[in-house]
A and B are shown apart, each in its own frame.
Chain A
Amino acid sequence: MSSDLTNVFAAKMLPKRELFSPGHRACQGCAPALAMRYMLKALGPDTIICNSTGCIEIISSSYPESAWGVPWIHVAFENSAAVASGVEAGLKAMMRKGRIPQRKITVLAQAGDGGSMDIGLQAISGALERGHDMIYMCYDNEAYMNTGIQRSSGTPWGAATTTSPAGTQSSGQNTWKKSLAEIAVAHHIPYVATACVSYPFDFMEKLKKAAAVNGPALIHVFAPCPTGWRCASDIAIRLGRLAVQTAAFPLYEVVDGKFRITQNVPHLKPLKLYLGPQGRYNHLTDDQIEYLQGELRRRYGLLVAKAEASQE
C-alpha cells in the first residue's frame, strides 16, 4: 500500500469540523479524548463507532448529551468488536439487497486497554479472523481507568495501580505489557499499526490506511492518562513523545505482514526521563529502572530486526 499525497496530513489541511465535540466530561489533559478528536478528523463523518464501556464511553455519552457527531453505539464492555461485526454485516447485506444506498462507510470498534487486551480479546480475535471490513482501535491508557485505575494486561511492568500497588513486598505490576499489535499480526490481517497521540499526523495517516484496506485493521494508540498515571495534566503529549523516544511504546506498522518502524529512534533516550514525571513509577529503584530499560531496549532491537527482515 502506498501512502499517496492525499494521505499526508498537515495542520492546516485538517478538517475544521469537530465530530467529537468539546464539552464532554473527560479529565483535564486526557489524551484518550484527544485521540477521539484526531480519529474523527482522519475518518470523517461517514464513520460508525462501536464503543466499549470505559472512560471514553462514560465521558462522551451521558444522556441526554452526546459528544458524537457520527453514529455511535455502546453495548457492553467486552464486545465492541462483535457489535462492529454485526454493524458491518448488516450494512453489507442491506447495501447488497438495495435496501440502503451503496456507499463507503467506515466501521470502527474501540475499547481501552482493558476492554481490548483482557475481557474483549476473544471478540477482537473472532472479528479479525472472520475478516470483517472494519477497524479495531485500542486506546491504551494502561489501566482500567474508568473503574479507578486497576491494573490490566496493558499495564507496564513496574507501574503501581490500585490492584497492583507498590508495597513492602511488591513493586507494582510484576508482569509484562501485552503486545496487542503482535497478537493482531498473528491473525494475518492486512493492516496493523501502533500509534501515539503525540504524533497526530502519523496517527491519522494510519487511520486513513486502516480505513482504506479491504478487511480488518487494528490500531493500538498510546494515550496518556494524567489522572491514572499520577502526573501533571499538561504533560500528556510530552509523555507520549518520551514513551516513543525511550522505546516504552515504539511506533510501527505492519502491512500485509511486513513490519516498518514509522518513528525511528536511533538514539533512545534514558527511560528515567519518561518515568520520572509519573507518580505511578515513584517507588522504582534505579536498579529496577535499569532492568526495565534493558528489557524495553532488547525488545526494540527485535522490532528493528523484524523491520529489517521485512525489507529483504
Chain B
Amino acid sequence: MGTRKGMEVSIGIAEAVMMADVDVIPAYPITPQTHIVEHLSELVADGHLDAEFVPVESEHSAMSCCCGSVAAGARTFTATSSQGLALMHEILFIASGMRLPMVMAVANRSLSAPISIWNDHGDVMAARDTGWMQIFVENGQEAYDHMMWAFRVSEDHDVLLPIMVNFDGFILSHVVEPIEVWSPEEVKQFLPPYKPPYRLDVDKPWTFGAVGIPDIYLETRMAHNEALIDSQKVMEKAWDEMAEVVGRKYSVLENYKTDDADIVFLTMGGISETCMTAVDQMRDEGKKVGVIRLRMWRPFPFAEVAKELGGRKVVLAVDRALSTGGCGGPVASEIKAALYPLDKRPQVVEFIAGLGGRDVTIGDFKEMYDKGAAVAAGGAVPPYEMVGVRA
C-alpha cells in the first residue's frame, strides 16, 4: 500500500505520469489542463523524470509530435482541453488509425463560442468517433490510478490504440484530494516498459502511414474497429490486476444503490458524485432510486448497459454535452441504441446538464427524479431538457 497525500488532482496526474517513466511529453498550455504539463516540466527540470519535454507551438503539433515519438518507440503523454482538443482533431484519427499507443489526459471543458473555460463534455464528444479508447474518471484517486492503467492498456499488443482519460475541468482538475500514490514496486509489478512491435528502426526499416487504396482501406478500418471493441477485455484484465496490486477495483460501469431501483440515473464524470449524494437523500425519503456511472465510453459497453438498465422502469440519462440540432445528448443516444433491441425497454428521460460550467445541484437531481417518477407513473416521456436553462 502506498502513502496517502493531499494534492491537486492535476498534480497527481503529473506525478502518476512520472511514475510511469514516460519518455516524451509534447505539451501546449490550455486551461484547465495547464497544471499537469507545468508540473511535468518541473519534474523534468528538477531531474525527477528523465524525459524530453517538447514545448510545441500548437496542439496540432503536440499531437503530431506524439505520433512521431510513439512511432520512434517512446512512451508518450500529453494533455489538453477544449479548443486544444479541437485543434488536434485531424491528427486524432491518424494517431488511432496508425495504431500508435499513447495516453492523453483531457480536462474536459466546453467549446467556443461563446468562449468558456468551464466544464462540460462538449470537447470530448466532438472527438467521440476518432477511434481512441475513452474513459471518464470521477475523482483524484481514479485519475491517478488510471494513468498507469491507461499506458498498460494502450501499449498492450492486442490493443495498440491511443487512449483519452477524461476528467472534469476545474471541478476535478483544480481540487485538492487525498490520493494514495503508488510505490515504485507497485508500478514495476503492474506496468512493464513499452515494447513497440514496430518502430522507426534504421536496422529494420518500416513504412508507416502508407496510402490506403480502396482495396485495403475498408479492411484497415474494420481491424481498427475490432481492436477498439476488443480493448474492453484488456481493460478489464488490467482493472483486475490493478486491484491485486493496489487494492482498488474498477469496472466499465459502476452501480450505486441500484439493486431494487426502478428509476436509475445514468451519469458520466464528476457529477456522478453529486448525483450519489442526491440519491442518498432520496433514499432517506424512501425513494427507490440509484445511479449507474459509466466509466468506459469508447468502446461503448452495449451489453453491460443493456443488462443493467434493461429491467428498470425509467432511466434518467444525464448528458454533459449537446448534439446541436440532433438527438440531444450523445450518452442518451447511445443508451437508447443499447436498449432498443430489448423486448422490454425502460423509458429514457433525457437531461442535458451543466453546459459551460453551470452548476448541477442536488436539487437539480431531485427534480430530474420527479420527472422520471411521473413517467414511471404512466406520464408521457418529455423531450430532452436543458437543465436550469432560463427562457
Chain A residues engaging chain B, CB cutoff 8 angstroms: 45-48, 50-51, 57-58, 61-64, 66, 68-76, 78-79, 81-94, 96-97, 99-100, 103, 105, 122-123, 125-126, 129-130
Total cross-chain contacts (CB, 8 A): 168
Question: In the complex, are the beta carbons of B212 and A83 less than 8 A apart?
Answer: no
Closest approach, in angstroms, between the C-beta of A108 and any C-beta of chain B? 12
Residues of A within 8 A of B389 (CB): none
Residues of chain B with a CB closer than 8 A to A78's CB: 60
Interface string of B246-259 (1 = CB under 8 A from A): 00000000000000
What residues on B are CB-neighbors of A82 within 8 Å?
56, 60-62, 64-65, 68
Contact indicator A75/B64 (Cβ below 8 Å): yes
Q: Which residues on the B side are within 8 Å of A71 (C-beta)?
A: 200-202, 205-208
Nearest B residue to A86 via CB reads B68
Total residues of chain B contacting the partner, CB 8 A? 44
| CB contact under 8 A between A72 and B207, given known A89-B52, A89-B54 | yes
B contacts with A: majority SS: mixed
B71 contacts A87, CB within 8 Å? yes
Determine the distance from Cα of A89 to Cα of B27 in the docked complex, in whole angstroms: 13
B119 located at the interface, meaning its Cβ lies under 8 Å from any Cβ of chain A in the complex: no
| 4 nearest CB pairs, A to B | A86-B68, A126-B57, A90-B72, A90-B74
Choose from B61, B73, B202, B207 the contact partner of A123 (Cβ within 8 Å). B61
Shortest distance between the CB of B55 and any CB in chain A (Å): 7
The answer, among A45, A79, A103, for a CB contact under 8 Å with B61, is A79
In the assembled complex, B338 has its CB within 8 A of some CB on chain A: no
Q: What are 12 A-B pairs at a CB distance below 8 A? A: A45-B202, A61-B210, A66-B207, A72-B208, A73-B71, A73-B200, A76-B91, A83-B68, A90-B52, A90-B76, A91-B72, A123-B57
Most interface-central of A64, A68, A86 (chain B CB within 10 A): A86
Known A-B contacts A85-B68, A123-B64; the reply to A94 vs B74 at CB < 8 A is: yes
Question: Is the CB of B304 closer than 8 A to any CB of chain A?
Answer: no
Interface pair A69/B212, CB less than 8 Å apart: no
User: Do A66 and B210 have beta carbons less than 8 Å apart?
Assistant: yes
Contacts of B98 in A (CB 8 A): 75
**Contact between B94 and A76, CB atoms less than 8 A apart:** yes
Among B24, B67, B202, B211, point to the contact of A58 (Cβ < 8 A).
B211
Residue of A nearest to B95 (CB): A75
Q: List chain B residues, Cβ under 8 A from A86.
A: 24, 26, 54, 64-72, 76
Which residues of A sit under 8 angstroms from B34, Cβ to Cβ?
none
C-alpha spacing A123/B60, complex, angstroms: 9
- A89 — which chain B residues lie within 8 A by C-beta? 24, 26, 52, 54, 65, 68-69, 74
Q: Which residues of A contact B205 (CB under 8 A)?
A: 45, 68-72
Are A63 and B212 in contact (CB-based, < 8 A)? yes
Question: Inside 8 A of A85's CB, which chain B residues have their CB?
Answer: 26, 54, 56, 61, 65, 68
- B71, B73, B206, B210: which contacts A63 (Cβ < 8 A)? B210
Q: Is the CB of A87 within 8 A of B211?
A: no
- Within the complex, the shortest CB–CB distance from B17 to chain A, in Å, comes to 14
Q: For the complex, is B367 an interface residue (Cβ under 8 Å from A)?
A: no
Contacts A82-B65, A86-B72 given: A126-B207 contact, CB under 8 Å?
A: no
Q: Please give, as numbers and ranges, the residues of chain A lying within 8 Å of B58 by CB-CB distance.
A: 122-123, 126
Q: Which of B26, B66, B98, B200 has the most CB of A within 10 A?
A: B200
Contact A94 B65 (CB under 8 A): no
A90 touches which of B60, B73, B94, B193 (Cβ 8 Å): B73
* CA–CA, A222 and B236, complex, Å: 55
Among candidates A79, A91, A92, A94, residue contacting B91 with C-beta atoms closer than 8 Å: A79
Of the candidates A73, A92, A100, the one whose C-beta lies within 8 Å of that of B208 is A73
Query: Chain A nearest CB: distance from B56 CB in Å?
Result: 6
**Residues in B neighbouring A48, C-beta threshold 8 A:** 72, 200, 202
Chain A residues near B60 (CB-CB < 8 A): 78-79, 82, 123
Tell yes or no: B90 within 8 A of A by CB: yes
Chain A, residue nearest B51 (CB): A93
Residues of chain A within 8 A (CB-CB) of B202 are 45-48, 70-71, 103, 105
- A61-B210, A126-B58, A130-B54 are known contacts; what are 14 more A-B pairs with Cβ within 8 Å? A58-B211, A61-B211, A70-B205, A71-B206, A72-B205, A73-B67, A86-B66, A86-B76, A90-B68, A90-B74, A91-B74, A93-B74, A97-B50, A99-B23
B377 CB contacts on chain A under 8 angstroms: none
Q: B47 on the interface (CB 8 Å rule)?
A: no
Note all chain A residues with C-beta closer than 8 A to B91.
Answer: 75-76, 79
Is B113 on the interface with A (CB-CB < 8 A)?
no
A84 to B56, CA, bound (A): 12
Q: Does B213 contact A (CB under 8 A)?
A: yes
Residues on B with beta carbons closer than 8 Å to the beta carbon of A83: 64-65, 67-68, 71
The residues of B that contact A57 with a CB separation of less than 8 Å are 211
With a cutoff of 8 Å between Cβ atoms, the chain A residues found around residue B303 in the complex are none
A63 touches B213 (CB 8 A): yes
Most buried by B among A45, A61, A62, A82: A82
B380, chain A: closest CB distance, angstroms: 49
Taking the complex as formed, is B341 at the interface, i.e. its CB lies under 8 A from any CB of chain A? no
In the assembled complex, which residues on chain B have CB atoms less than 8 Å from the CB atom of A76? 64, 90-91, 94
Cβ contacts under 8 Å, B201 to chain A: 71
- Shortest C-beta distance, A78 to chain B (Å), equals 7
Q: How far is the CA of A78 from the CA of B89 in the complex (A)?
A: 13
Answer whether residue B115 sits at the interface, using C-beta atoms and an 8 A cutoff: no
When C-beta atoms are compared, the residue in chain B nearest to A62 turns out to be B211
For the complex formed, measure the closest distance between the CB of B45 and the CB atoms of chain A, giving whole angstroms: 15
A58 (CB) vs chain B CBs: closest residue: B211
Whole-angstrom distance between the alpha carbons of A71 and B209 in the complex? 11
| Contacting pair B61 A62 (CB below 8 A) | no
Closest to A85 in B: B65
Chain A residues, Cβ within 8 Å of B66: 86
Contact in complex: B68, A75 (CB < 8 Å)? yes
B57 near A122: Cβ-Cβ < 8 Å: yes
- Give Cα distance in the complex from A61 to B91, angstroms: 19
Question: Can you name the residue of chain A whose Cβ is closest to the Cβ of B206?
Answer: A71
- Does B1 count as interface, using CB distance less than 8 angstroms? no
Q: Which residues of B contact A46 (CB under 8 A)?
A: 202
Provide the B70-106 mask, 1 if CB < 8 A to any CB of A, else 0.
Answer: 1111101000000000000011001000100000000
